[in-house]
Amino acid sequence: MTGGERYLLDTVIVAAYFNRDPSVLSRLELANVYVSSVTIGELFFGDYKSTQRDENLARIRALADLVRILPVATTTADHYGKIKLQLQRKGRPIPENDIWIAAAAFQYDLVLATRDAHFEHIEGLRLQAW
């Protein structure tokens, strides 16, 4: 998972990777990818409520070895606040964790790889549908 363009993977894209989605796998071969610690938290939540905990935990740990995990920091929180206000003013709420993921994309100047259309409501966010 290294290459030219730099992408932040949304949780939906990570799930597609775990499910061996051919379109995601082929894109990852050419991409330099990052994952937010918020996404890792969502994955752990999914693991804890799953009946296949050992398998899921192994996949999460393997992913963490392949990509750079971006922490939430004060700068991330600053972007979060701006995004949330923008969405509130538009009357376009989106899931809280997705605001944090978008904030990381802004902080690190990454293209957000996603399949969730609600990210389109965030002004200036660079998106690519995978």
The CATH number assigned to the domain holding 41 equals 3.40.50.1010
The residue segments making up the domain with residue 34 are: 6-129
User: Does residue 79 form part of some domain?
Assistant: yes
User: Does residue 1 form part of some domain?
Assistant: no
| pLDDT the model gives residue 19 | 94
**What digits encode the pLDDT tens for the residues 55-101?**
999 999 999 988 999 999 999 999 999 999 999 999 999 999 999 99
* Bridge partners (DSSP) listed for residue 113: 9, 128
Model's pTM, two decimal places? 0.92
Q: How many domains does the chain have?
A: 1
**What digits encode the pLDDT tens for the residues 11-58?**
999 999 999 999 999 888 778 999 999 999 999 999 999 999 999 999
| pLDDT the model gives residue 2 | 54
Spatial separation of the C-alpha atoms in residues 99 and 38, rounded to whole Å:
10
User: Does residue 11 form part of some domain?
Assistant: yes
User: Does residue 17 form part of some domain?
Assistant: yes
User: Does residue 101 form part of some domain?
Assistant: yes
